A = this chain, B = another copy of it.
C-alpha cells in the first residue's frame, strides 16, 4: 500500500494541490505552511522583501508586502546575482481555457509586470494552448483562438513590448524549444511523472508528454532569437504555487542536461467568493469576478456570494465583531486595496464590530469596479496588430535596458 493510500485508508483526508486541482481538507482552508513543507520550497522572509526594495529603489509590490507571494526557490540567489550585475529573465504563463479572465488570473500578471518594471528584465509568457486542447478537449483552433483572446488581457496588464515575448505553444514548439523538450523528457520516467502529477494508465499520452513543454521555457536556449549565446542566463518564474510540481521536475532535470535551475516566486491562491477552500474557478461563474463583469454584476456577486466573517445579527456583530480569518471581502481588499492605512483601518473597525459587512462589501465593490474598468479600457485599446507584435518571433534588442 502506498503512503497516500494508507493515509486515505486511515480516513485522514489531505489537501490536494496539483496544477489541475486545488482543494483544502473538508471544512478547512488551504494550509500553506504544510504546502511549503510538502513541496520543499522556502518561505519568502521579510529580509528578502527588504532586499527587493533596496535593489529596485521602489516600495515592494502590495503582493509582496502582504504575503500573496509567500514562497520561493532560489530567489535569494537571483537577487545576489542581480546585485553583482547579472540580470535574469522572467517566465510566466497561462492555460487559455476560457474566454474571460477572472481576478485570480490577473494576480501573476500584475505581479510579473511589477517585477519586469522594477528589475528591468525581459519576460517570456507561454500560452499553453496545447495543454488546454488536451485537458479540456478543445479543438486546436478553439484553443488558439482563446490563446489570442487571453493574450489581449495579458497585454492590457501593461507589459513592455520591447522586453516581452508572448508565444502560443502550437505556434512556437519546434527547433531549439523541441530539442530541449526531448532533453528533458529523456530524464523523466513515467513512474516519476505519476509520482509528481498523479497520472494514471487511463490518461492519454498527450498529458504524459506535456510536462516538458511547460519545463523548457525555463531554459534560455529555448529562445535562441532572444538570448543568443546566453545559455546560462538565470530564469525567475512568478506563478501560483499549484504550478510548483512542473518546476520541481524542471529543477531536478536542469543540472543533468547542463542547464541552470529556474528560480521561483510563488503565490497563494486567490480564493473563491464562497470562501478559502480552494482557488477561484473559471468554471463556476458565481465563484469569480471576471474582468468583463459590469459594476452592477460586481456589486451583486459580492453582496450575494462573498462569504462574510460578520456575525448573524447586528447586535452580535456590534458585540463580537467580524472574524477576519474567514472573511472574503477583507481578503480581496488585502489583494487589491493598495492603501495600507485604509486597509488597516477597515480591518480594525470591522473586527471590532464598528464597521458592518455591508460597508466593507461596498468598499470592495468600488475597488474592484475601478480595477476592472481600468482593465476593460486597457484591453479595448489592444489591437490585433499589437497581439501580432507581442507574439512575433523576434530579437528584443533593448531587453536589459
Instruction: Enumerate chain A interface residues (CB-CB to B < 8 A).
Output: 130, 133-134, 137, 140, 169-175, 178-179, 182-183, 185-191, 193-194, 199-206, 208-209, 211-212
A97, chain B: closest CB distance, angstroms: 15
B190 touches A199 (CB 8 A): yes
On whether A205 and B179 interact (CB within 8 A), knowing A133-B186, A137-B186, A174-B174, the answer reads no
On whether A205 and B209 interact (CB within 8 A), knowing A140-B183, A182-B130, the answer reads yes
- Residue of chain B at shortest CB distance from A188: B205
A204 touches B182 (CB 8 A): no
Q: How far, in whole Å, are A163 and B183 apart by their CA atoms in the complex?
A: 33
- Residue of chain B at shortest CB distance from A185: B206
B residues in contact with A173, CB < 8 Å: 173-174, 178
A201 touches B191 (CB 8 A): yes
Q: Which 9 A-B pairs have the closest CB atoms?
A: A174-B174, A185-B206, A209-B209, A191-B201, A186-B206, A190-B201, A173-B178, A185-B205, A140-B179
B residues in contact with A174, CB < 8 Å: 172-175, 178
Q: How far, in whole Å, are A175 and B185 apart by their CA atoms in the complex?
A: 20
B residues in contact with A169, CB < 8 Å: 178
A202 touches B189 (CB 8 A): yes
B residues in contact with A191, CB < 8 Å: 201-202
Q: How far, in whole Å, are A174 and B175 apart by their CA atoms in the complex?
A: 8
B residues in contact with A140, CB < 8 Å: 179, 182-183
B residues in contact with A187, CB < 8 Å: 204
Q: How far, in whole Å, are A189 and B191 apart by their CA atoms in the complex?
A: 15
- Residue of chain B at shortest CB distance from A206: B185
A306, chain B: closest CB distance, angstroms: 38
B185 touches A209 (CB 8 A): yes
- Residue of chain B at shortest CB distance from A133: B182
Partner of A185, one of B134, B179, B188: B134
B residues in contact with A203, CB < 8 Å: 189-190
A345, chain B: closest CB distance, angstroms: 52
- Residue of chain B at shortest CB distance from A130: B182
Max chain B CB contacts within 10 Å: which of A140, A190, A202? A190
| Besides the known contacts A133-B182, A185-B206, A208-B208, 8 further A-B residue pairs in the complex with CB atoms under 8 A apart | A134-B182, A171-B175, A173-B173, A188-B204, A189-B201, A205-B212, A208-B209, A209-B212
Pull 7 A–B residue pairs with CB atoms less than 8 Å apart, ordered by A: A130-B178, A173-B173, A178-B178, A186-B206, A188-B205, A193-B205, A205-B212
B185 touches A204 (CB 8 A): yes
Max chain B CB contacts within 10 Å: which of A140, A173, A179, A211? A179
A179 touches B170 (CB 8 A): yes
B residues in contact with A186, CB < 8 Å: 133-134, 137, 204, 206
B residues in contact with A202, CB < 8 Å: 189-191
B residues in contact with A193, CB < 8 Å: 205
B residues in contact with A189, CB < 8 Å: 201-205
B residues in contact with A212, CB < 8 Å: 205, 209
B residues in contact with A172, CB < 8 Å: 174
- Residue of chain B at shortest CB distance from A209: B209
Q: How far, in whole Å, are A224 and B205 apart by their CA atoms in the complex?
A: 25
Q: How far, in whole Å, are A191 and B207 apart by their CA atoms in the complex?
A: 13
A190 touches B204 (CB 8 A): yes
A160, chain B: closest CB distance, angstroms: 27
Q: How far, in whole Å, are A200 and B190 apart by their CA atoms in the complex?
A: 8
A159, chain B: closest CB distance, angstroms: 25
B residues in contact with A178, CB < 8 Å: 130, 169-170, 173-174, 178
